[in-house]
Chain A
Amino acid sequence: MPFVNKGFHAKRPTDGGHKLPPGQYETQDFPVLTAGPTPRIPLVNWEFRLEGLVESPAKWSWNEFNALPMQSFNPDIHCVTKWSKFDTKWRGVSLDTLLEHVQLKPEAQFVMAFSYGGYTTNLPLADLRDGKAFIGLEYDGKPLTAEHGGPARLVVPHLYFWKSAKWVQGLRFMAEDEPGFWEDNGYSMHGDPWKEERYRADDEPTPDNARFRL
């Protein structure tokens, strides 16, 4: 039986049909969380790359990328800092579309997303396929603003939102999992909000994270 705080009750019932992962609360805002200054990337210099364990790397300029087939997607998103936001409105390119442009080597099982400004975050490849992940270019009908990761960010709604790398520049395919920026700073290697995988200590024990201390 967990500890109960006397007199504490949920203050805000959530929208009908939506579910909050454990410990989360709903917000109507779109909070900004970034570890340093916001990079501003001129579109003429922008490029997006798929590299690492691929038969040959792929690269797109801004115009080339915008010529790819796009789709709308309206996910609920969940930040590890405890806010969740329902029915966000995005447009962008599915990772499935991008993966049609490269031949992955069979040992590719993990991905490191890397960003302008030096941010990185790691994901299992399986979490990016089958309609689960996008490169978002528009939010709420407008180009994605720089504070929210524009011109383009990774959007992986079923994981905590730090996995949705802002200012994304490319994906590197890897055979072994490696921690990215926040993961190196003690956050979960996977980040499933429904399992409350917030910190490394919340991950299934492995020899690597058993010795990890925040």
Chain B
Amino acid sequence: MSRPLDWQLATVTAIRPETPRVKTFVLGLPQFRPHRAGQHYDLRLTAPDGYQAERSYSIASPPEQTGEIELTVELIDEGEVSGYLFDGVAVGDQLELRGPIGGYFVWPAGPADAPLLLVAGGSGVVPLMAMLRHRQRAGLRNLAALLFSVRTPEEVIYQQELEALAAADPDFKLLITYTRRAPPGWAGYRRRLDAAMLAEAVALLPGSPQCYVCGPTGLVETAATLLQAQGLPDAAIRTERFGPTGS
């Protein structure tokens, strides 16, 4: 029995483009350990001269998907690790990983839990997607809403799956806001997150929701402050920040 955080050598079994700058890496694990939705893995690259770089990546797949995990990675300009993953990694390659890690930004996911309000900016949707996939695979019926802020229609990670989920599940509401350019004929939000938008999202969820906010620092600061102003207790607002340095 290995220790929970030993490094292990995963094998890339598939690579899926999600958007022009985002890819999902499916990784077969010799030691799969069930994770909780919202947790992350650390990934370590080692150069021939011994130099090592590590980054944390949220798990996109639900705990029900056993034997492998999916990490959805955004290509960062000058990103040392994301750049290598995008250019240097193919199906069949191996990558060193350890995890799952994190005990705070996780959704406990019981049927009696409060409604779930997820607020994402860009690739901040990844750990929230794990929560939605877990909710679906576990057959949970908690009311849930995802408010997803993206710049352009090309940048909606998991778009088809999210739209299909929203179409099939009356207890899940998908709210997308486009901050730079919306698709033709778009009737929804086309602005940055603001108080009115968050109030509308909260109003979809009778009873005080548990909130998970993930994205760039500015968006997370704004959303968390506005949710506090809606009267939600601090303890109901969990945040995770993906800075521009999260390469």
| Interface residue? B105 (CB, 8 A) | yes
Whether A37 contacts B225 by the Cβ 8 Å rule is yes
Return the contact of A5 from the options B39, B84, B217 (Cβ within 8 A): B84
Which residues of the partner chain A approach B243 to less than 8 Å between Cβ atoms?
Answer: 29, 31-33, 83
A55-103 CB contacts (< 8 Å) to partner B: 81-83
Chain B residue, CB-CB nearest to A28: B245
| Interface residue? B51 (CB, 8 A) | yes
Nearest-neighbour CB distance to chain B for A32, whole angstroms, equals 5
| Interface residue? A48 (CB, 8 A) | no
Return the contact of A23 from the options B39, B50, B52, B105 (Cβ within 8 A): B52
Which residues of the partner chain B approach A186 to less than 8 Å between Cβ atoms?
Answer: 101-103
Which range contains the number of B residues in contact with the other chain?
35 or more
Which residues of the partner chain B approach A12 to less than 8 Å between Cβ atoms?
Answer: 78, 80
Whether B96 contacts A37 by the Cβ 8 Å rule is no
Question: Given known contacts A37-B228, A214-B103, is B83 in contact with A11 (CB within 8 Å)?
Answer: yes
B34-58 CB contacts (< 8 Å) to partner A: 39, 42, 44-56
| Interface residue? B189 (CB, 8 A) | no
Whether A199 contacts B80 by the Cβ 8 Å rule is no
Question: Given known contacts A5-B95, A29-B243, A36-B234, is B52 in contact with A147 (CB within 8 Å)?
Answer: no
Whether B224 contacts A38 by the Cβ 8 Å rule is yes
Nearest-neighbour CB distance to chain A for B13, whole angstroms, equals 17
Whether A214 contacts B53 by the Cβ 8 Å rule is no
A25 to B84, alpha carbons, bound, how many Å?
A: 15
Which residues of the partner chain B approach A182 to less than 8 Å between Cβ atoms?
Answer: 104
Whether A23 contacts B54 by the Cβ 8 Å rule is yes
A202 to B244, alpha carbons, bound, how many Å?
A: 27
Which of B9, B80, B95, B243 has the most chain A CB atoms closer than 10 A to its own CB?
A: B243
B interface residues (Cβ-Cβ under 8 A, vs A): 3-5, 9, 39, 42, 44-56, 78, 80, 83-84, 88, 94-96, 99-105, 217, 221, 224-225, 227-228, 234-235, 237-241, 243-247
Whether A5 contacts B241 by the Cβ 8 Å rule is no
Return the contact of B102 from the options A10, A11, A117, A214 (Cβ within 8 A): A214
- We find that the number of chain A residues with CB closer than 8 angstroms to chain B is 42
| Interface residue? A9 (CB, 8 A) | yes
Whether B88 contacts A7 by the Cβ 8 Å rule is yes
Nearest-neighbour CB distance to chain A for B244, whole angstroms, equals 6
**7 nearest interchain CB pairs?**
A23-B54, A185-B103, A31-B243, A201-B5, A37-B224, A27-B245, A11-B80
Whether A185 contacts B245 by the Cβ 8 Å rule is no
With A8-B48, A31-B244, A33-B243 already in contact, 19 other A-B pairs whose C-beta atoms are closer than 8 Å: A3-B9, A8-B53, A10-B51, A11-B78, A12-B80, A29-B244, A31-B241, A32-B221, A35-B240, A36-B238, A37-B234, A83-B245, A118-B234, A182-B104, A185-B103, A198-B42, A201-B5, A214-B5, A214-B102
Which residues of the partner chain A approach B100 to less than 8 Å between Cβ atoms?
Answer: 214
Return the contact of B241 from the options A9, A24, A34 (Cβ within 8 A): A34
Which residues of the partner chain A approach B237 to less than 8 Å between Cβ atoms?
Answer: 36-37
Which residues of the partner chain B approach A2 to less than 8 Å between Cβ atoms?
Answer: 46, 50
Chain B residue, CB-CB nearest to A81: B56
